[in-house]
């Protein structure tokens, strides 16, 4: 599907963007990949890192901010597919800088939508987060708003070809700023900091997240919010997997942090369908949504009281399972 296509990735120098672009270059033979981000140093570093990769000549680096609509319009000229991964994501930083979070995560989403419509992009997939389900922090609230904007944007596309969908998944294992590299660094000193022993999280690695986004491009008809079926972990099990002999220091939950995460809350169950390998939340408002679901092999409505939370998940990773998933990290820190 992506062969000979022009693809734009906002926030393309981030952990997801680099893994996604690697997958495109190695296995999908695109015409051009445009990497849109605001950090010139990260772009230069990524250019050096990818220089020896096959088809690296197809990469184009655009310095720009999603807050700048005019720059987005320029970057999206003749683009076929857009992955919107740019966001302010650190919970404490968003709590301390709420206006900046809104400018990037909400106003930036509006700019991406408007540019995609004006440039007649074929498909747009926006990356969301588990924190957008029943949000209690500003980051989650801005991403929920962003999700609503992208879903509703299908009503603005009219007779044009542009379609928008959203993917919502949990914590990405080993992404920049995540707990995995923190624990490995702390393990060197023999003490790990844990916010609460009861804490649980959904878990997905970067490769799985990339595949999930690619699958969304393939099956989307516009208006869906896709949620993967992924395992949960206990934060204490993660600590045991990384440093079983380390001391544990309880530091308390940070401002805006949840004890357990939610990917689908009970209020969303009225609009949620089980597609087998994933869940799909349809738009709650009437619009251009096609209820015939022609691209889904299996589909059934979930129960009215259904919810999908990290503490009540039926799939939990064991300590050996976590260690196996982290094998490359053990090599990196050995």
Tens of pLDDT, residue by residue over 124-150, are 999 999 999 999 999 999 999 999 999
Q: Which residue has the higher pLDDT, 297 or 230?
A: 230
Q: What is the mean pLDDT of residues 55-78?
A: 97
Concatenate the DSSP letters of all residues of 49-107 into one string.
HHTTSTTGGGEEEEE--TT-HHHHHHHTTT--EEEE------HHHHHH-HHHHHIIIII
Catalytic residue, candidates 58, 131, 240, 325: 131
**How far, in Å, CA of 18 to CA of 206, rounded?**
10
pLDDT of residue 256: 79
Using an 8 Å Cβ cutoff, are 34 and 62 in contact?
yes
Q: What is the mean pLDDT of residues 41-64?
A: 96
Confidence of residue 225 (pLDDT cuts 50, 70, 90): very high
Which CATH superfamily groups domain 6-333? NAD(P)-binding Rossmann-like Domain (3.40.50.720)
Tell which phi-psi region holds residue 59, choosing left (phi > 0), alpha (psi between -120 and 50) or beta: beta
Confidence tier at 287 by pLDDT (50, 70, 90) = low
Q: Considering only 31-35, 121-125, 172-176, 226-230, which range has the smallest mean pLDDT?
A: 172-176
Retrieve residue 332's tokens. 């990196």
pLDDT of amino acid 285? 74
Greater confidence (330 vs 74) lies with 74
Contact 25, 99 (CB under 8 A): no
**What is the structure's pLDDT at 290?**
55
The question of whether 131 is a catalytic residue gets the answer: yes
pLDDT at 177: 67
For residues 203 and 152, is the Cβ–Cβ distance under 8 A?
no
Q: What share of the chain is helix, strand, coil (3-state, %, to 5)?
A: 40, 20, 40
Task: Write out pLDDT tens, residues 146-158.
Answer: 999 999 999 888 7
- Per residue in 159-200, pLDDT (tens digit) is 778 999 999 998 888 777 678 989 999 999 999 999 999 999
**What is the DSSP annotation of 103-121?**
IIIIIHHHHHHHHHHHTT-
Q: Are 167 and 213 in contact (CB under 8 A)?
A: yes
> In the Cβ-directed half-sphere of 156, how many Cα atoms lie within 13 Å?
15
- Mean pLDDT for 20-38 is 97
Lowest mean pLDDT among 15-24, 152-161, 285-294: 285-294
Prediction pTM value: 0.93
Query: What is the reported pLDDT for 292?
Result: 63
pLDDT of residue 318: 96
For residue 170, the model assigns a pLDDT of 84
């Amino acid at each position: 599907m992506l062969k000979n296509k022009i693809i734009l990735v906002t926030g393309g120098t981030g952990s997801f963007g680099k893994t996604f672009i690697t997958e495109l270059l190695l296995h999908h033979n695109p015409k051009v990949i445009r990497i849109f981000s605001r950090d010139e140093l990260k772009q230069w570093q990524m250019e050096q890192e990818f220089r020896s990769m096959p088809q690296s000549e197809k990469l184009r680096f655009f310095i720009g901010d999603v807050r700048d609509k005019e720059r987005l319009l320029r970057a999206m000229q003749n683009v076929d597919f857009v992955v919107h991964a740019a966001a302010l994501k650190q919970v404490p930083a968003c709590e301390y800088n709420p206006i900046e979070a809104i400018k990037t995560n909400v106003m930036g989403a509006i700019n991406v939508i408007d540019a995609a419509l004006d440039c007649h992009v074929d498909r747009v997939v926006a990356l969301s987060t588990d924190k957008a389900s029943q949000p209690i922090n500003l980051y989650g609230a801005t991403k929920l708003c962003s999700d609503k904007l992208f879903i509703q944007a299908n009503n603005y596309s009219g007779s044009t070809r542009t379609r928008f969908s959203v993917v919502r998944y949990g914590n990405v294992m080993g992404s920049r700023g995540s707990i995995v590299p923190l624990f490995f660094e702390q393990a060197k000193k023999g003490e790990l900091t844990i916010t609460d022993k009861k804490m649980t999280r959904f878990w997905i690695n970067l490769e799985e997240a990339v595949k999930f986004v690619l699958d969304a491009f393939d099956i989307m008809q516009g208006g869906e919010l896709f949620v993967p079926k992924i395992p949960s972990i206990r934060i204490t099990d993660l600590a045991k997997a990384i440093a079983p002999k380390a001391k544990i220091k309880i530091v308390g939950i940070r401002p805006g942090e949840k004890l357990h995460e939610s990917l689908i809350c009970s209020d969303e169950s009225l609009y949620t369908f089980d597609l087998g390998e994933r869940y799909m939340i349809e738009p709650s408002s009437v619009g251009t949504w096609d209820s015939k679901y022609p691209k889904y092999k299996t589909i059934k409505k979930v129960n009215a009281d259904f919810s999908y939370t990290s503490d009540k998940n039926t799939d939990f990773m064991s300590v050996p399972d976590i260690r196996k998933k982290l094998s490359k990290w053990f090599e990196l820190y050995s």
